[in-house]
Amino acid sequence: MTTSPLPAWYQQGCGHIWLPYSQMQTASPPLAAVRTQGSRITLADGRELVDGVAAWWTACHGYNHPHIREVATAQLATMPHVMFGGMVHEPALTLAQRLCARLPGDLERVFFSDSGSVAVEVAMKMAIQYRLNKGETGRTRMLAFKGGYHGDTLGTMAICDPEEGMHHLYGSALARQVIAPLPQDEASSREFHALLERHAHELAAILVEPLVQGAGGMLFHAPEVLRILRAAADRYDILLIVDEIFTGFGRTGTFFACEQAGIVPDIVALSKALTGGTMALAATIARRHVFEAFLSDNPEHALMHGPTFMANPLACACANASLDLFESQPRLQQVAAINAVLTEQLEPCRSLPGVVDVRTLGAIGVVEMQAITDPEALRQRFIAQGVWIRPFRNIIYLTPAFTISEAELHKLTGAIRTVLGG
């Protein structure tokens, strides 16, 4: 058997690249991707993989959607970028207005940035300065949840799950935040409320991923939990920050996950599928009362943050094009149809060796294992099946594009059943 030689750029560049979450000494060499289309990734050697991950949950319309490409091409020709300090442009203002129209309540002020972690950092800075601007100096800490994930920067690592998270190694370098169990049953509710009683006087905000804790292990909770958090935040006068970076844009079956609980957060963070998986962009959206706490004749009451590539016009144009597709295409029906297939096709995994749970929500399908001892080997077996599935920790999951074909979806679920069964 002949294998086509790896391209020169791969051979010459691989020794100079540092990959994420990867033990570079032992990890198998990365794949060389050369083209994407729909739910397919083409490799340099000609192999084609069906993508079960949608580029880390971002490519909700599939790759290379012609509408996004068209809008991006036009924007590229007129104004790929301009600074956002003291200057605004149509793509950003249109996008801000459209996002606010979609969000519940008076979430009406958008601060743009370029990654999810930074959007969460900005939300935390807003919450801290909200108190400072009101003359309260002692309320700078955050309450976040076990199983949670909010990013990889030093500020956001401190609000990730301290034990399960990949960040425990940095322990002593991180701010000490309050980490509570999600109030889901009697015992966890008691602990949550006890922690609040003890810490409310020093808390600026409660942060939560609504309905699904994604990178923490695809853990689901009921909408009721969000209503409990909203009520607790109101009772203790703490801001509620909802991190919809993974769940936003239809992934859980509604446009935003918080809709399912009927709550209005004080601040929302968005990124991942915001541009349909094409450009790096994030947004932090605040309610009116949050924004108003920054209005004063004191210059120090202004929000002191400003990423260089903030509100990049090309990225904003792509996000507007993505919203066009949510308006013109039956995306939420597609999510419901994907859920039906995932539920039916993954359910048989329950009886396979080592499987402890199978669960689905919207376009998310999860097979939870007792343990995955050799994730690297498992990944290779999926690649051999012609699918791109990235197990992490003890879970194997699918988060496909909403435009995936039924045959492609069956290929993904079939690969999981084959690999786990044999």
Ligand X SMILES: *Cc1c(COP(=O)(O)O)cnc(C)c1O
Quick check: is 134 catalytic? no
Pick the closer one to ligand X by CB: 385 or 400: 400
Is 116 within any annotated ligand binding site?
Answer: yes
| Shortest CB 216 distance to ligand X, Å | 9
Q: Which span (71-79, 209-217, 285-293, 408-416) binds ligand X, by CB under 6 A?
A: 209-217
**Contact with ligand X (CB under 6 A) among 214, 277, 391, 400:** 214
Nearer to ligand X, 209 or 368 (CB): 209
**In this complex, which beta carbon is closest to ligand X, that of residue 159 or of residue 293?**
159
Choose the binding region for ligand X from 192-200, 208-216, 253-261, 292-300 (rule: CB under 6 A). Answer: 208-216
At residue 242, what are phi and psi to the nearest 5 degrees? -105, 120
Looking only at Cα atoms, what is the longest distance across the chain? 74
Residues 77-116 within binding reach of ligand X (CB under 6 A): 115-116
Residue 328, class by beta-carbon neighbours within 10 Å (0-12 exposed, 13-18 middle, 19+ buried)? Answer: exposed
In the chain, count of helices (H) and strands (E)? 13, 16
Does residue 301 contact residue 275 with C-beta atoms inside 8 Å? no
* DSSP designation for 392: B
Q: Residues 195, 196, 202, 208: is their CA dihedral positive or negative? A: positive
Which residue number places its CB atom closest to ligand X? 116
Query: How many amino acids of this chain bind ligand X (CB under 6 A)?
Result: 15
> Encoding tokens for residue 217?
């292990």
In the complex with ligand X, which residue's Cβ is closer, 158 or 293? 158
* Residue 391 Cβ vs ligand X, minimum distance, rounded to whole Å: 17
- C-alpha–C-alpha distance, residues 334 and 378, integer Å: 29
350 known member of a binding site: no
390 assigned binding-site residue = yes
Q: Which among 240, 183, 253 has a CA at the least distance from the CA of 208?
A: 240
> Does residue 122 belong to the site contacting ligand X (CB under 6 A)?
no
Q: Is 237 a catalytic residue?
A: no
Q: Among candidates 328, 199, 209, 188, which has minimal Cα distance to 268?
A: 209
Helix (H, G, I), strand (E, B) or coil at 114: coil
Contact string (CB under 6 A) for ligand X, positions 237-266, x = contact = ------x-xx--------------------
The answer to whether 277 contacts ligand X (rule: CB under 6 A) is no
Q: Is 2 annotated as a binding residue?
A: no
Residue of 113, 177, 271, 334 that binds ligand X (CB under 6 A): 271
Tell me the three state secondary structure of residue 230.
Answer: helix
Closest to ligand X by CB, 144 or 349: 144
Q: Encode burial over 275-292: b for 16+ CB neighbours within 10 A, e otherwise.
A: bbbbbbbbbbbbbeebbe
The secondary structure element, H or E, covering residue 37 is strand 33-37
* Residues between 133 and 172 with contacts to ligand X, criterion CB under 6 A: 149-151
397 among known catalytic residues: no
Q: Which residues would be at the binding site for ligand X (CB under 6 A)? A: 115-117, 120, 149-151, 209, 214-215, 243, 245-246, 271-272
Q: Annotated active-site positions, please? A: 21, 149, 243, 272
